[in-house]
Amino acid sequence: MQNDVIMAGFGGQGILLIGKMLAYTGMQEGLEVSWMPSYGPEMRGGTANCTVVISDRPVGSPVIQSPRAVVAMNLPSLDKFEPMVRKDGLLLINSSLINRSSNRDDIRILLVPANDIAMELKNPRSGNIVALGAYIGSSHAVPIDAVERVVRETFASKPQVIDSNIAALLRGFELGETAVA
């Protein structure tokens, strides 16, 4: 079993954070993981992406040419990474900020209004957590309760945002699970 994903968006959207949370979850579940961040020199507002590989065997390389999944949180990320998704893979698109879908008919496409859901939950910064939940719901790369535990640990120093981030995670998870049903 191996799951690999490229998560991409603008700096400041929490892309590297959700990738790191996914990697930590895999580690806590006793799996082999790699997390490789990449971001432009301008940081906030520039491009940011990370590759996460989770496997039950040693990870040969953190570099993935044809990922099983891509989470695109903005249009430049969709344009860059959409062609790389392997056949029968998953392309998760943040439809709150991206006004197009994909023309590919050889992959699963999941439109997630991540920012809109974050606003509904009165936590505008949790769009990344919604996307993480949707990815987990559609891939089952790691158990959702394990991700929930990592979310609680990650935000332990900010207890006032834990419940809204858990709500965002679970809303995304429901969307992801429904899409694969």
Mean pLDDT along residues 131-153? 97
Q: Rounded mean pLDDT of the chain?
A: 93
Structural domains of the chain sorted by starting position, each given as residue range(s) with its CATH number in brackets = 2-180 (3.40.920.10)
Rg (CA), the chain: 15
59 confidence band (pLDDT: 50, 70, 90): confident
Q: What is the pLDDT of residue 45?
A: 63
C-alpha distance across the termini of the chain, in Å = 21
pLDDT digit string (tens) for 22-41? 999 999 999 999 999 987 66
Quick check: 42 pLDDT over 70?
A: no
pLDDT of 181 over the 80 cut: no
pTM of the model: 0.94
User: For the segment 80-118, what is each residue's pLDDT rounded down to a tens digit?
Assistant: 999 999 999 999 999 999 999 998 999 999 999 999 999
Q: In what order do the strands lie in the sheet with 90-94?
A: 32-39, 47-55, 2-10, 69-72, 90-94, 108-112
